[in-house]
Amino acid sequence: MDMKKGILIQETKDGSHTLYNESLDETYHSTHGAVQEANHVFIDNGIKLIDKSDINILEVGFGTGLNAILTNNYAKENSIVINYIGLETIPLGMDLINKLNYLSENKYLSEDEFMNIHKCDWEIPSQINDSFSITKKNIKIQNFQSEHNFDLVYYDAFGPRAQIEMWDRSIFENLFSLINHGGKLVTYCAMGQFKRDLKSVGFVVECVQGPPGKREMTIASKK
């Protein structure tokens, strides 16, 4: 394990790293497999469901950048264009990022692009390649405003047990207004109150099989 301001590196069951936040007593990913979970929730049940060639994505919980680099890779493989905004209130230092093993565990990921995603400036758009641009914002979702809408939201905040304020109904009411018709919000969480809140603000909610270690996950659509 390695420590950075109360954050520990842990190896998950698929061999990929996650981080453990001591103050919240919460990991950034499933201990059953970080890459496995990210691919299942955000790629297979997220971006693959959006039938567009130019996609606007909002991620709540940028964290280690794992979802971003996997999305970047998917965009290049499928010749689509991704405009990505990642929100994060606890940006990680490069000394910690450099120790994550996503690149050694996944040879198809570009080291240069992963590092560029992390090294690019916050608050301004950065073009990583022809298929992927990213804007990282150090802001709470409660304070986030956008001039354009999104086709897909990756909701990857810490769970309700650790950060109940991140699962308030008002957040999802605002996100509903920011999602295009035909767009989706996807997340690993499938708690009953959360799903009821999604329905109450207008989403059509579907529970599908979760990644290893979780029975279900949630896909919320704006019709």
Q: What is the pLDDT of residue 43?
A: 98
Residue 5 within any structural domain of the chain: no
- pLDDT for residue 122 is more than 90: yes
pLDDT at 103: 85
Whether pLDDT at 105 is above 90: no
Cβ–Cβ contacts within 10 Å for residue 89, how many?
14
Q: Where are the alpha helices (DSSP H) in 137-191?
A: 169-178
Residue 62 φ then ψ, to 5°: -60, -40
Please indicate, yes or no, if residue 71 is contained in any of the structural domains: yes
- Does residue 188 belong to any structural domain of this protein? yes
Going by pLDDT thresholds of 50, 70 and 90, the confidence category of residue 2 is very low
Q: pLDDT, tens digit, for every residue of 137-146?
A: 999 999 999 9
- At 1, is the pLDDT very low, low, confident or very high (cuts 50, 70, 90)? very low
Helix boundaries (H) for 15-158: 34-38, 66-78, 94-97, 102-105, 111-119
pLDDT for 190 equals: 97
Closest of 62, 67, 60 to residue 45, by C-alpha? 67
Q: How far from the centroid of its chain's Cα atoms is residue 3's Cα?
A: 23
pTM: 0.95
Contacts of 115 (CB under 8 A, 6+ apart): 97
Q: Does residue 60 fall inside a structural domain?
A: yes
Report the CATH number that the domain containing residue 158 is assigned in CATH. Answer: 3.40.50.150
Q: Find the mean pLDDT for residues 122-133.
A: 98
Report the number of distinct structural domains present in the chain: 1
Question: What is the per-residue pLDDT across 24-78, written as a single tens digit (0 to 9) for each?
Answer: 999 999 999 999 999 999 999 999 999 999 999 999 999 999 999 999 999 999 9
- Position 4 scores a pLDDT of 43
Residue numbers of the domain that contains 195: 32-221
The chain-wide mean pLDDT, for the chain, equals 95
pLDDT computed for residue 106 by the predictor: 76
- Other CB atoms within a 10 A radius of the CB of residue 27 amount to 18
